[in-house]
Amino acid sequence: GPLPGIVLGALAGAIGLLLGEPTVVNAALLMLFLNGFNLLPFLPLDGGWVVHAILFVRHPVIDVVFRVGAALCLLGLAILSMDWCLGSLAVFMLLVAPTAFRLSRIAHRLKEEGLVARSLDNDSIPDETALEILAELRRALPKQTPAKALAQHVANVFEMFNAEPPGLLASLALLVVYAVTKPPA
């Protein structure tokens, strides 16, 4: 993850400065930049997943608004920096937003209907739960959706279904920790 990368980057930078090695310092700065960038609150970056898990996993509409908002911010950043790679990522995020909304809506609806979907071994999806999710996916997604994509969507819905966001005070505390520990971009 990004935190070990930041620690290693800081250590490498300090060693590079002590030894007077500009190549090591430059490599450390690159590590710090890349790992710090990864903590920005945009999906699919790690920082985006942190903020998503704390706040936006609670409802499908909030989830899709966050995803589209993050994609638009990333697109704006790409335009300002004239970076086609960031722009491509933002466009991809916008293209997958409708599917993410459908998956989130399915998970939310199944949870409201009282489907019990806990893994006994924390490594698999119970068969009847997987079949229930698959039936919902087949109703919501295009008929030509490949089997491999359906399998991944079943796993995603199962994960969303079992996501339990922290309570209000815990959410605020986690957001403060995230804000304080996130390096400046």
Q: What is the pLDDT of residues 34-59, one digit of tens each?
A: 888 888 877 778 888 888 888 777 78
The model's confidence at residue 183, banded by pLDDT at 50, 70 and 90, is low
Q: Is the pLDDT of residue 28 over 70?
A: yes
pLDDT tens per residue across span 104-128: 888 888 888 877 667 777 778 888 8
Q: Is there a contact between 106 and 156 (Cβ–Cβ < 8 Å)?
A: no
- What global pTM score does this model have? 0.68
Q: What is the pLDDT of residue 59?
A: 81
Judged by average pLDDT, the poorest of 12-21, 88-97, 173-182 is 173-182
What mean pLDDT comes out for the span 140-144? 89
